[in-house]
Each structure stands twice: as C-alpha cells, then as structure tokens.
Amino acid sequence: MSEQIDLQADLPLREPTFFILLSLSTTPKHGYAIMKEVEVLSTGRVRLSTSTLYGALKRMLDQGWIVRFDESAATAADAHADGPEPPILPSDDSGRERKAYALTDLGQSVLGLEIDRLRALVSVATQRTAGALS
C-alpha cells in the first residue's frame, strides 16, 4: 500500500515518459527503436530528440523503472534460461556497443497506475459528457 502511495507521487507522467514506458512494455528495445515506437504510438505527435530520450532514460534508470543491459549479456542470460525466445533486437552495423532497455516490475507498476488513472479520467469524462454529446 505504501509503495502504491509512493508511486502515486510520480503521477501523472509526462507524455514522453508515458510513451517510452509503453514502448518498453512488450519487449526490450534500443534507443532508436524506442524513438520510432514512440512516434508510432503517438501517431506522430511526439517526436523525441536524442537529448530528450536519453534524459528521460537516465531518469527512469535512476528511479529503477527500467534497466539497461548489453545485448550480448541478455542473449547469453536468455540462452541459459528456460522460457520464451529472446527478443530479436536490431543489429548494429557499426560494431559499437549496443545497449537495450527493459521495463522492471516497478516500471510496470508505474505504467499500470498511469493507465488506470487515464482510464478513470476517460471514464468520468465519458459518463459526464455522454448525454451532452449524444
């Protein structure tokens, strides 16, 4: 309960934060994949610059909402684990170190709470305006 209350203090989320969490809710992703996914999810309305993206990622890392890992480490860890196939991450032709981001349980909770909050808002608004708009 107290954790819930603490998480409530972080709400409402800013739009870029919400979309970044949402984009990571299915599979871990690289920075560029997150950028593209956010653009798609927001139907082109939110276009992140790299500065905004990594500023937000850093904040979320510090808050423990997401984790960052090497592609190779994740692949190796998954190879030893019984479970679903590891997510296929885009490869990097330049050979530079690739990092991916994944949602933690805490991040999942925050996203869930925000979705509940938005759902409640929409529900209230729908009820209130149902008569007026119909």
Partner 1 sequence: MKLLITVLPFVYRLGLRLYPRAFRRQFESEMRLVFDQAMAAAVARGHVAILLLGYREIVGLPRCLLRQHWLARGTRPPVIQGRAQESAMIQGTDPISPPSPQPEPASPSRRPAAWRDALLAAMPHCLVALLFGVLGALGATAGQNSSLQSIADTGTAIAGIGFAVLTTMMLVWAARLKWPRWAASWYFYGLAIILGLILLVVQSVTPPWERWTEGYRAIVVPLVVVFVLFWLAQRDRIQALLIALPLMTVLWYPTLEFVPTPIRLPLTTGTWLLAGVLAGAIVRAGDWRLGTWSAFGFDLGVGLLYAYARTYLKILPASAPLHWLESPDLMDFLDTFMPAFVVGALLLVGPLIIQALNGSTGRQLGRARTAARTGYWLFVFSLSLCLASTLTAFWWMQRTWPGFGATPISAAAYGGLLLGGAAMAIIVLVLYSERSGERFSRRATTGVLLLGLMLLALPLVLALGMSFGWSSLPASMTLGFMQPHEHRLLVYTACLAWVLLGCWLVTRFSDDGDFNLRLRGAWRGIGSALLGAMPFIFYGAYTIAHELPGVPGIIPLSILALLYGLVLIGLAAAWLRGFPRWSFVFLGFLVAITGSGLVYRLRFLVDWSVPGLGPVSTSPSAGWPAWIPLVLILVLVIIVTRTLRPLKDLLSATARDWTRASFALYGTTHWFLWATLDENHHPYLVWGYAMIALAMAGGAYVYLILSTTRQRMLGLLAGLTVAWTTAAVINAGYWIGRQELWMREPVTARAATAPMILGWFVLLILFLAPWLPGELRRSMQWLRPG
> Which stretches of the chain bind partner 1, using CB under 8 A?
30-32, 35, 47, 49-55, 57-58, 61-62, 64, 67-70, 73, 77, 92, 94, 96-99, 104-106
Cβ proximity to partner 1, 14 vs 128, nearer residue: 14
Cβ proximity to partner 1, 94 vs 134, nearer residue: 94
DSSP 34-60: HHHHHHHHTTTS----HHHHHHHHHHH
Q: Is 64 left (phi over 0), alpha (psi -120 to 50) or beta?
A: left
- For residue 68, the 8-state DSSP code is E
Cβ proximity to partner 1, 30 vs 117, nearer residue: 30
